[in-house]
Amino acid sequence: MPKETKRKGLGAASRDELALKLEGLSKALREGFFEFEGERWPLPKEFLEYKWEVKIKEGKLKFALTFQLEETPPEVPLSRISFKKSPKQIKKQMGALWKSIWRDIRAGNLPSRSQIEALEECFKAYRPFADQSWEAAWEDCYQKVRKLSEALDKGDFALLETLASEILALEKACHRRYK
């Protein structure tokens, strides 16, 4: 990604044309790129921080979407990033990964291998912080997360859905009981 660049533009389009532009952007994001108005940049991280704003004033609607990326070298797979983080930071990353995986599965899409591997890495990194009272529930959930990789390898979407539902149920039960 370039050190610094800035682009601006204005345009007018029908709703259908604008929807097509946004669908193209959406497709590129899923493939790991930012692509808009004929330009394309790689996005080396799986997760982006974003901000949105809607303003309605005097009969005009204004919508803005901003996302930001702190660059990680593309040659470093997400699953190999070291976890020199606090337990709270690991849990936050784990939550973001799980939400993304769950969102993909709910939408009928296969989650990415790197997301599942990174979630497994989070589980491993958090293991020393697991409290003895909920360690068994933690281990049960971790084993199901590991099975997600196997289901992805087999291309078994039905199993992915089942495992994801079971993980979600375990997470909710555990948080209800131990939080």
**For the segment 122-152, what is each residue's pLDDT rounded down to a tens digit?**
998 888 888 888 888 889 999 999 999 899 8
The model scores a pTM over 0.85: no
The Cα 102–Cα 116 span in angstroms is: 11
- Strands, E, within 84-168: which ranges? none
Structure tokens belonging to residue 40: 């394309």
**Closest by Cα among 154, 76, 90 to 120:** 90
- Residue 69, pLDDT score: 64
Pairing of strands 33-36, 49-57: unpaired
The Cα 120–Cα 93 span in angstroms is: 11
Listed by start position, the domains of the chain span: 15-68, 78-178
- Residue 167, pLDDT score: 93
- Residue 34, pLDDT score: 80
Fold of 78-178: Four Helix Bundle (Hemerythrin (Met), subunit A) (1.20.120)
Question: Which distant-in-sequence residues (6+ apart) come within 8 Å of 109 by Cβ?
Answer: 30
> What averages of pLDDT result for each successive group of 10 residues across the chain (179 residues)?
64 88 85 76 73 88 78 41 69 89 90 90 88 86 92 91 93 82
SS3 at position 26: helix
